[in-house]
Each structure stands twice: as structure tokens, then as C-alpha cells.
Amino acid sequence: MTTAPPTEAVPAEEAGGPARLSPALALTGAGIAVAVAALLSLAVGAIPIPPSRVIAVLIQSLGGRDAIDPALAGDALVILDIRLPRTALAMLVGAATALSGGVMQGLFRNPLAYPSLVGVSAGSALAAAAWIVIGGS
């Protein structure tokens, strides 16, 4: 019986293994992605508004509604009264969903919350039915 000759241990970085993304870089990338998605959600709709005008309205609105250029008044109305609340609410709902998923995984010490666990499927079906009955679109 023959045995393989001993080999020297090599760190993973030198062995060509997968490089690990640093948490700071991952969070920065995720933050940029959320900012771009929010900007696009403010620009896209029945009335298309270029992202440059969206940014101009947001910057000018920091000084109050009176500080907005009259040429941007129509865009400001659409962005500040319709799209900005929609975007903010979507971001809050996404954060709440992520938080509840993380809590559920931590509570049950399970990397995934199975649909049959503690009525996850029934709860989501109830929420969907309630949304339809209340009149959500």
C-alpha cells in the first residue's frame, strides 16, 4: 500500500479559492443599488421625468416648496406628492420584510424559514386576501 507524499498547506487566498467580499464593500454596493433604484422609481411612471430633473427637484425642495424653480413646479408636484411617498413606503416595506425574515430565521435557529413552519403560508395567504378585500390593486 502506498501513500501520497505530504503536501504543504497553502492559505486560501494563494490557492486560488473564491475571494471573499468585505462587509463594508458589500454594504456600500447595496446602498448604491438602493439609491439608484429609488431614483429610478421617482423618475419612472405615467409622466416620465428625467433623473436629472428628479435630482434638481429633490435638491431644490430641501429649501421648502417656495424654493423650487417655477419651471419645475409640475415635476415637483408629481415627484413630491405622488412618487416620493410611494418610494419611501416601498423602502419601508422592504426593510420590514427583511427584518421579519431575519428575526424568523434567528428565532427558529434555521437558515431558512420553511413555509410550513408556524403558519408562514397561512399568514401570507391571509395578508393577500385582506389586501384584495380592502381594495388594494
How confident is the prediction for the chain on average, in pLDDT? 85
What was the pLDDT predicted at 16? 56
User: Can you give the pTM of this predicted structure?
Assistant: 0.63
Q: pLDDT tens for residues 86-132?
A: 999 999 999 999 998 888 888 877 766 566 666 667 777 888 888 88
Residues near 13 by beta carbon (within 8 Å), at least 6 away in sequence: 19
- Is a pLDDT exceeding 80 seen at residue 136? no
- Is a pLDDT exceeding 70 seen at residue 11? no
Nearest-5° angle of CA 32, CA 71, CA 39? 15
Task: Give the dihedral of Cα atoms 132, 47, 40, 100; nearest 10 deg.
Answer: -20
What was the pLDDT predicted at 118? 63
What was the pLDDT predicted at 135? 80
What was the pLDDT predicted at 119? 67
Nearest-5° angle of CA 109, CA 111, CA 117? 70
Higher pLDDT, 49 or 4: 49
- Is a pLDDT exceeding 80 seen at residue 66? yes
Mean pLDDT value of segment 62-74: 89
